[in-house]
């Protein structure tokens, strides 16, 4: 961020736009511990309906506790139902919120926009603001739904408008860096490193050494693949099970599957029970 000019009445601001999910606590933890007190933090989370499958009251309260005191929170409408229209609506609302609630009082500025609902935001920002923006893709249309060319073109347009204005696209892994470079044609000079991962508190739960029998025998002897994510139909777990069943009928050797379709509930959800029935029905281990 730029140095604030002497005598300026405008406040340096860091704006963080967050999609749904649990993958952003490390960033919030870093902000809470490292942000200069002179910098005002503004958070633009996606507003969720209580009935939405993405809505998690427990995680919402935890997220609130991670924010530094004095954080300005400006919820952004829509953007969570997975359609291009909703993503576009969420970006438009975010741009309006920035124009009305952030930019008039902002001095030096940095905008960090996380994940799919904000991929089109750079196309709606003025050039000088776009130049102070970092887009952080955690997934893309090409990875999630290659047949959705409209969404892929929308994402590419947002990224290219950002790069043309002098902004940056962050790579959360070596794989994503190669994907953004090769598929979305993002120049290497416009890619910034921003590794995605666990917080120190989460890593403490991984410190115990794995004991005997901690992995299924098939996984230990033949290797395994891990499928992990929120237990919702759009994550494609049933498609994965169908594919494994087809491959097995064709006598194709595949690694053992470790399936972690998760919720925060104490009991299996109807969707998780459906996955268990599908595993049994296919005769999969």
pLDDT at 197: 67
Confidence tier at 7 by pLDDT (50, 70, 90): very low
CA dihedral 35, 40, 42, 43 (to 10 degrees): 20
Instruction: Show the tokens assigned to 142.
Output: 């090409």
Number of H helices, E strands in the chain: 11, 9
Confidence tier at 219 by pLDDT (50, 70, 90): confident
Model confidence pLDDT, tens digit, residues 259-272: 999 987 788 999 99
Model confidence pLDDT, tens digit, residues 97-129: 999 988 887 788 889 998 888 999 999 999 999
pLDDT (mean) for 50-79 = 74
pLDDT of 90 over the 80 cut: yes
CA dihedral 148, 152, 157, 162 (to 10 degrees): 140
pTM of the model: 0.72
- Long-range CB pairs of 262-265 (<8 Å, 24+ gap) are 262/228, 262/229, 262/230, 262/231, 263/230, 263/231, 264/56, 264/58, 264/59
Closest CA to 21 of 50, 73, 59, 78: 59
Confidence tier at 80 by pLDDT (50, 70, 90): low
Burial of 143 (0-12, 13-18, 19+ CB in 10 A): middle
pLDDT at 82: 67
Confidence tier at 95 by pLDDT (50, 70, 90): very high
What is the spatial distance between Cα 192 and Cα 93, in angstroms, rounded to a whole number?
A: 26
pLDDT (mean) for 196-222 = 68
| Consecutive H or E run containing 2 | none
């Amino acid at each position: 961020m730029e140095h604030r000019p002497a005598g300026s009445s405008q406040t340096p601001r860091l704006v963080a736009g967050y999609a749904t999910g649990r993958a952003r606590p490390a960033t919030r933890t870093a902000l809470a511990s490292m942000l200069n007190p002179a910098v005002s933090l503004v958070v633009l989370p996606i507003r969720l309906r209580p009935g939405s499958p993405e809505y998690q009251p427990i995680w919402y309260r935890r997220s609130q506790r991670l924010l530094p005191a004095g954080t300005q929170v400006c919820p952004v409408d829509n953007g969570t139902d997975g359609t291009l229209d909703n993503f576009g609506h969420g970006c438009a609302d975010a741009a309006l919120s920035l124009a009305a609630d952030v930019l008039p009082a902002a001095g030096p500025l940095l905008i960090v926009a996380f994940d799919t609902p904000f991929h089109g935001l750079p196309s709606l920002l003025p050039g000088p603001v776009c130049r102070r923006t970092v887009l952080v893709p955690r997934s893309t249309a090409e990875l999630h739904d290659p047949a959705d060319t409209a969404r892929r073109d929308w994402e590419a347009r947002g990224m290219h408008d950002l790069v043309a204005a002098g902004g940056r696209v962050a790579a959360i892994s070596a794989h994503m860096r190669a994907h953004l470079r090769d598929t979305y044609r993002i120049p290497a000079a416009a890619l910034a490193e921003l590794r995605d991962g666990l917080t120190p508190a989460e890593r403490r739960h991984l410190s115990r050494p794995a004991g005997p029998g901690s992995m299924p025998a098939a996984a230990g002897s033949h290797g395994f693949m891990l499928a992990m994510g929120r237990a919702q139909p759009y994550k494609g777990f049933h498609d994965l099970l169908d594919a494994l069943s087809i491959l097995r009928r064709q006598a194709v050797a595949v690694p053992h599957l470790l399936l972690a379709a998760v919720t925060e509930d104490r009991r299996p959800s109807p969707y998780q029970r459906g996955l268990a029935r599908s595993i049994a029905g296919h005769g999969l281990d």
